[in-house]
Structure 1
């Protein structure tokens, strides 16, 4: 089975000379949730806009479900639903009309049952006859999602979908995303809420300065690049870390009551066993210990810093 999205040797240079994307190569599998992370100005929205046919690329190839986004635009674009960052829709139209019209733009025959299903899934059914201008910001965001789903796309792009929305909408949106993925829809999202990517995504891509610096399975990424921290609460304070333990990555708290040991997740068993044995040999006793694992946010920040 070919990937739903295939990007090969993609470049984008604007007329100003700014190179927004540099040699992007990416494949996104059918039915996965792929999170694209990166700082502001890294190229996330430019990449999404090119794949969705909104922005022309300078060189390279982009395929959506096997259809070239440039030479076979209508077929490629019909596979894609896009929820952009901006709330841009006709303020004077009703919810029902604007979602139905969006379906028609893709050449789909009217299907009131599908529109009803989408509106109900987004808690918009009781607002179906309301004009867009009368809705709250959160409800307008729901309408944008409904528009993106109106033509039953196989691939759904969510560009910062929860920016500035309330907790209830965020929870409802992720529940909808899970249901869509279960039905076989491929989800690509960008987000500043890295905890969302950590919870939702199957794979993570990190983009920085227009270059895709990493694409990895989320759990593999956290296992390979994550760090673990072991905190030992000592029975008696130490003035300093014993010289015989200086080869270990140990830090002593200011009051001398806590030792902090940092290690790679791959070294967990041997590292902790070695530490505890050597502490016992030095007569250093502890009364409590706890571990903490790196979050995806910490990994992301370290990757971007290393790139810069």
Structure 2
């Protein structure tokens, strides 16, 4: 669906007291997460098999360090590998690329794929669209990096949660058109026009409490300004033009996740472009290059990346 001729939508501004509360809560969470995350990444605690082959900084974004995973079986002179660009989640405000180390290492070695786990600047210090622009710079640098053993005709981008949103955002950039053969989005936030109350009501009636519900406002307040159009397709990719996205898109939703309904609506919208017939069932179908899968009984963030 094209974004032209769609009226902008803005959120209701948060009161100053709410903003102050969100800011205090967020910085406490960031501090605790950094401490706990640091312990789990400490040598002797973290599984060394999940460590990257190397890390790399590109001059275009010198404050960002990316993690590179080369299959252990790959040798100099071997044919170039498929490339998967991974973007970590964390509500646009938390974590770093090491969050996805286990997935990246396993996916790399099990499927003989070069994986580059991308870093990006976090909100609230770097609100939208800064992370999007930074990632566009970095992705272009990676794709031009002749030292990486990958096939430029076999590039896929994806991520989980906020990372999935960012993957959908940067794939729309004019400078990256035609660069990706496919995109993978695990439980993405994809439509910020949907009120939290509506998103919660769209979940199955037997679903447990969604922990995202209590943090959604805080994340939103940190990530984008009150005067931001919520229908901006790089913020809310539900409103993106299908023609600007890769030919193949795989979207995964978690049944109990408040984001699942919007993710499915996005998949339906993208799949409606074209005249191909739908195959599959209600919870797992494919049409016009789009695959949708709902993981029954799963909550946001608890789904392990099983396959691409």
Q: Return the TM-score normalized by structure 1.
A: 0.27
Q: Return the TM-score normalized by structure 2.
A: 0.27
Largest Rg, 1 or 2: 1
